Chains A and B, each alone.
Chain A
Amino acid sequence: MTSLAVARNRLPIGRLLLVVLFIALVVAGFASGALPADRWEPFLLVSTWTFLFEGLVVTLLIGAISLVASLLIGIPLGIARSALKGPPSWIVRGWVELVRATPILAILIIIFLGLSRLGLDLTAIQAAIVGLTLYNSAVLAEVVRAGIRSISQGEVEAARSLGLGFGLTMRLVVLPQALSRMAPAIVSQLITLIKDTSLLFILGGQELVGYGRSFFNFYGNLLETYIVIAVIFFAICYPLSRAARRLEAKQPADERIVVTGEADQIATATSIR
């Protein structure tokens, strides 16, 4: 364990070196002309930041609405998935697996174009919320199912033998414990969700990336704008990722929930050792 312990103690110095490195990169960028100073000037204006802030608000709103809606749909779906047997269970499972096996961008575009063919009127933002909710409710259903399954059968049987019906068992025994186990997975999915709001830009919606692109049209500094947008996303997602890991650190390893095919969740689960 010695080499690893030493490695961990040296990290704070490493962070200082990182800051120095970053500053050096920025200065080099200015000096070499690759990221000319004048193209960064628009970012010194307050109006720039209020403009980008509008886009950020849209992004966060879409994320929040989609998360709440996904939870409202995903939790009952997950409970249904674990409670049902036979053909109804297969239908739910089939639906969840198919949705999760589809790229989120494909879902967004298909909903945007497809619903309009069926006669439903949706703006890009509304279609995005529907699509993100559809996808993430399926993922959260799996998280809930895994969470419920992770509660030992012994407790469930004990609750039943005390006379508690299915609903009460769920509400008083299983779900409270399962929810705390699911917390890191849910926070990780929120990170994915916020990153996925950037895909709205492809639908023509105006969220942070869309605002950034129109900002570029005006000032002609595309690379710099992308860097700023990336940093804004980072400022939101990194704290969430730290929170997810802290939540996970509180759990014993065999209680961790990871859902197949979701990268951000694997990241949380494996970064702790």
Chain B
Amino acid sequence: MRKLIAGLIVLAFVVVACSTDSGGSASPAGPSFAADSTMAKIQTAGKLVCGTKFDVVGFGFKNPTTNEVEGLDADLCRAVAEGLGVPPEFVEAISANRLPFLTEDKVDLVASTMTATDERRLEIDFSKIYYVAGQSLLVKSDSTIQTVDDLNGKKVCSGEGSTSEKNVTERAPTAELLLFKTYTEAGQALADGRCEAVSTDDTILFGLAQNIPGTELRGGVFTDEPLGIGIKKGKDDFVAFIDSTLEAMKADGRLKALYDKNVKPYTGQDVEAPF
């Protein structure tokens, strides 16, 4: 009799444990989802296609020697893919094409140092904010530019169509903008003097400052740029899945480890998860 009761209790534990397991937290062991959910479709496709930058150190950077994409955005994509049990596939999403890539299903998600603006929220959905960046300035160390207001009448490089170039135009209306498709080119233009400052998220600038000798960030941060993972509208289940993945990573310390690995070397500071 006692053995029967003990067996039933063990059975009860097992049943409870199993049902908790399949409750949808980011457990990598045997994920399965409702048949017509976005996650199931991704599993059927056999891969998670992520749009990331390929030239932003610390967030999305393709290492030429290893051909691997490194950085916080890439690692977040890997975590989501792990939660789905599929391999991640990386596609380069520059500022100019990441929205069309999402809306036209060229990628499943975009983790590309993308600011979650109200304007963009009209077109796509965002996950929880995973990092708060800010727009700043990169100048040559001997430059007289101190803040964004000093940019008037000067040549400033930025990314075509990015929120950064709009902000510069608003804060310094007479600044002359040179707009490039990638920030690498903008950095090169700063290096050879075609522009006197590069303005975009500090996250991007840190990488540029690393690669271009004799440059530094100035003027602090003059905007609040909350970065989120972009998902096409109509995939609420996927947004929920990504959010819960992020929550789990915050809880078990994986998120902090990613911050320390990817961001801290360039900012020199600890990062608090903004959610």
CB–CB under 8 A between A and B in the complex? Answer: yes
Chain A contact residues, CB within 8 Å of chain B: 112-113, 116-117, 119, 121, 202, 204, 213-215, 217-218, 220, 222
Contacts of A112 in B (CB 8 A): 97
Are A113 and B97 interface neighbours, CB within 8 A? yes
Q: Does B105 lie within 8 Å of A121, measured CB to CB?
A: yes
With beta carbons under 8 angstroms apart, the residue of A121, A213, A217 that contacts B106 is A121
Q: How far is the CB of B90 from chain A (nearest CB, A)?
A: 13
| Nearest chain A CB to B253 CB, angstrom units | 33
CA distance A112 to B105 in the complex (A): 14
Q: Which of A204, A213, A215 contacts B94 (CB 8 A)?
A: A204
8 closest residue pairs by CB, A with B:
A116-B104, A218-B64, A116-B100, A204-B92, A214-B64, A121-B106, A113-B100, A204-B94
Q: Once bound together, how far apart are the Cα atoms of A217 and B103, in whole Å?
A: 31
Residues of chain A within 8 A of B100, CB atoms compared: 113, 116-117
A204-B97 CB under 8 A given contacts A119-B104, A121-B105: yes
Interface size class of B (residues with CB under 8 A): 10 to 19
What are 28 A-B contacts with C-beta separation under 8 Å?
A112-B97, A113-B97, A113-B100, A116-B100, A116-B101, A116-B104, A116-B106, A117-B100, A117-B103, A117-B104, A119-B104, A121-B104, A121-B105, A121-B106, A202-B181, A204-B92, A204-B94, A204-B97, A204-B181, A213-B184, A214-B62, A214-B64, A215-B64, A217-B55, A217-B64, A217-B184, A218-B64, A222-B188
**Nearest opposing residue in chain B for A118, CB measure:** B104
Within 8 A of A (CB), among B47-65: 55, 62, 64-65
Residue of B nearest to A124 (CB): B92
> What residues of A have a CB within 8 angstroms of the CB of B103 in the complex?
117
Q: Which residues of B contact A202 (CB under 8 A)?
A: 181
Residues of B within 8 A of A214 (CB): 62, 64
How many Å lie between the Cα of A117 and that of B102 in the bound state? 10
Mask, B61-95, CB within 8 Å of A = 1, is: 01011000000000000000000000000001010
Q: Mark B28-57, 1 if CB is under 8 A from A, else 0.
A: 000000000000000000000000000100
Residues of A within 8 A of B105 (CB): 121
A214, B92: Cα distance in complex, Å: 13
**Shortest distance in angstroms between A123's beta carbon and chain B's nearest beta carbon?**
8
